[in-house]
């Protein structure tokens, strides 16, 4: 028998054990952030305490103030979203508090002629590009009024299936190029989503065809209850770009000035024919996965506590105050304005008529398929039966 001269098969990667990854005190995401910061691999403009580390990357003062305004609008929505859900006034809501720099700094680099493909997590990005608050509230209220995007905005409805939006964004980008515009498509995805086939196909497709795309990969440490470390053996997700021959950039996802800077560069490259870029924003999901999630089942309070010191809103706030670009009084005016804007939008959302049960299927296809027609009839029959049962109970 001839001896086997093939090299030994690599040892399989030992899967992360439960005790390593879900035990109280698990702080791999913090360690990853700190290591990226220390190694200088992660673009940063402001340190977590708000001091400037890269003077050369600072955007104009007016831009810094606008980024702060948009982050505050986003945070206000996030905070009110929780309350509204508890009051039964939102159907579901995936919070993004703590990820505002990752969403606002990136979306702010687009214009309204560009495309935005957000996931369910990216309310902050959609609001930044101009999605009306009332319509966004209607969406999370599961009302059909939130399903139509305004005609003057190329923001897609929030994608719930993971990674579907990535190849679609490439298609939109190629369509823009075919029409001879300089418009780009930006798509968001999470760390978990970057393990899906669609993510990899999209990057390859975009690279091969030099599509004007900007891919934002928000690494927030978790895919529901699965920590990034257990999800993939890769430790630097921006390097996923190497496999497709496109630039990959790692940026501090809690630093709005840095996310804005790197995204502007990527958008400019895409507009001028330089092709796609993958940007990994290193951040953290401080909040539960959705309002229905209970993270105490898979992580401890101590895991998230350290992220308060890295908070993106506080970081930019400290910088603006220190740089004399904002005072506590001007900030108070801004916050009052934001609260008024939100309450007016909430009143508008409250004024939309209640949807009827069968409407849930009305906008799936322009022409309903036979299956949808059958489902619609079933829903109607079920509700008619429920209504008559209720009526006879009330009359009895």
Ligand X SMILES: Cc1ncc(C[n+]2csc(CCOP(=O)(O)OP(=O)(O)O)c2C)c(N)n1
State in angstroms the smallest separation of the CB of 299 from Mg ion. Answer: 13
Site string for ligand X, 263-302 (x = CB under 6 A): ----------------------x---x-------------
State in angstroms the smallest separation of the CB of 193 from Mg ion. Answer: 8
190 binds ligand X (CB under 6 A): yes
Name the residue with the smallest CB distance to ligand X: 190
Q: Which is nearer to ligand X, 160 or 347 (CB)?
A: 160
Name the residue with the smallest CB distance to Mg ion: 190
Phi, psi of 187 (to 5 degrees): -125, 140
> Considering only 166-174, 190-198, 248-256, 273-281, which stretch makes contact with ligand X by CB under 6 A?
190-198
Classified as helix, coil or strand, 361 is: helix
The whole-angstrom separation of Cα 394 and Cα 396 is 6
Q: Cα angle vertex 288, ends 282, 292, to 5°?
A: 145
The whole-angstrom separation of Cα 339 and Cα 347 is 12
State in angstroms the smallest separation of the CB of 221 from ligand X. Answer: 8
**16 dihedral zone (left: phi>0; alpha: psi -120 to 50; beta):** beta
Q: Which does 118 bind (CB under 5 to 8 A by kind): ligand X, Mg ion, none?
A: none
> Which residues contact residue 374 at a Cβ distance below 8 angstroms, ignoring those fewer than 6 apart?
none
162 binds ligand X (CB under 6 A): yes
State in angstroms the smallest separation of the CB of 121 from ligand X. Answer: 4
- Bridge-partner residues for 279, per DSSP? 216, 249
The whole-angstrom separation of Cα 228 and Cα 97 is 19
> Considering only 22-30, 218-226, 301-309, 376-384, which stretch makes contact with ligand X by CB under 6 A?
218-226
105 binds ligand X (CB under 6 A): no
* Contact residues: Mg ion, CB under 5 A: 190-191, 220, 223
Q: Which does 227 bind (CB under 5 to 8 A by kind): Mg ion, ligand X, none?
A: none
Q: Which is nearer to Mg ion, 194 or 263 (CB)?
A: 194
**Residue of 134, 143, 206 lying closest to 169 (CA atoms):** 206
Q: Which is nearer to ligand X, 68 or 96 (CB)?
A: 96
Contacts 24+ apart (CB under 8 A), 354-357: 354/143, 355/142, 355/143, 355/144, 355/145, 357/383
Residues at the interface with ligand X (CB under 6 A):
121, 160-162, 190-193, 220, 222-224, 285, 289
């Amino acid at each position: 028998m001839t001896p086997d001269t093939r090299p030994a098969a690599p040892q399989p990667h030992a899967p992360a054990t439960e005790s390593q990854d879900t035990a109280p005190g698990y702080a791999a995401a913090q360690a990853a952030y700190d290591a990226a910061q220390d190694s200088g691999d992660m673009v940063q403009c402001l340190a977590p305490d708000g001091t400037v580390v890269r003077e050369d990357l600072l955007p104009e003062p007016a831009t810094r103030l606008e980024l702060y305004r948009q982050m505050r609008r986003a945070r206000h929505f996030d905070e009110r979203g929780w309350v509204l859900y508890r009051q039964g006034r939102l159907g579901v809501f995936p919070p993004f508090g703590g990820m505002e720099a990752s969403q606002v700094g990136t979306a702010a680099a687009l214009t309204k002629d560009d495309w935005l493909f957000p996931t369910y997590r990216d309310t902050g990005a959609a609001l930044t590009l101009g999605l009306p608050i009332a319509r966004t509230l209607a969406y999370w209220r599961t009302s059909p009024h939130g399903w139509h995007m305004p005609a003057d905005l190329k923001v897609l409805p929030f994608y719930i299936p993971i990674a579907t939006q990535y190849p679609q964004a490439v298609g939109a980008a190629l369509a823009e190029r075919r029409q001879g515009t300089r418009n780009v498509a930006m798509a968001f995805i999470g760390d978990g989503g970057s393990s899906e086939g669609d993510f990899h196909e999209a990057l390859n497709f975009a690279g091969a065809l030099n599509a004007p795309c900007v891919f934002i990969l928000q690494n927030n440490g978790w895919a529901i209850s699965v920590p990034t470390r257990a999800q993939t053996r890769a430790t630097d997700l921006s390097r996923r770009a190497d496999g497709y021959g496109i630039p990959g950039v790692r940026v501090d996802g809690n630093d709005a000035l840095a996310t804005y800077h790197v995204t502007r560069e990527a958008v400019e490259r895409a507009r001028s024919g330089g092709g796609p870029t993958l940007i990994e924003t290193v951040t953290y999901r401080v909040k539960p996965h959705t309002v229905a999630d209970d993270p105490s089942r898979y992580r401890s309070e101590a895991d998230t506590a350290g992220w308060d010191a890295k908070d993106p809103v506080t970081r930019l706030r400290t910088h603006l105050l220190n740089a004399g670009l904002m005072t506590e009084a001007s900030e108070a005016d801004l916050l009052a304005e934001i609260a008024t804007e939100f309450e007016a939008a909430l009143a508008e959302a409250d004024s939309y008529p209640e949807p009827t049960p069968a409407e849930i299927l009305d906008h799936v296809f322009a022409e309903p398929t036979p299956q949808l027609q059958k489902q619609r009839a079933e829903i109607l029959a079920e509700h008619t039966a429920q209504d008559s049962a209720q009526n006879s109970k009330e009359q009895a």
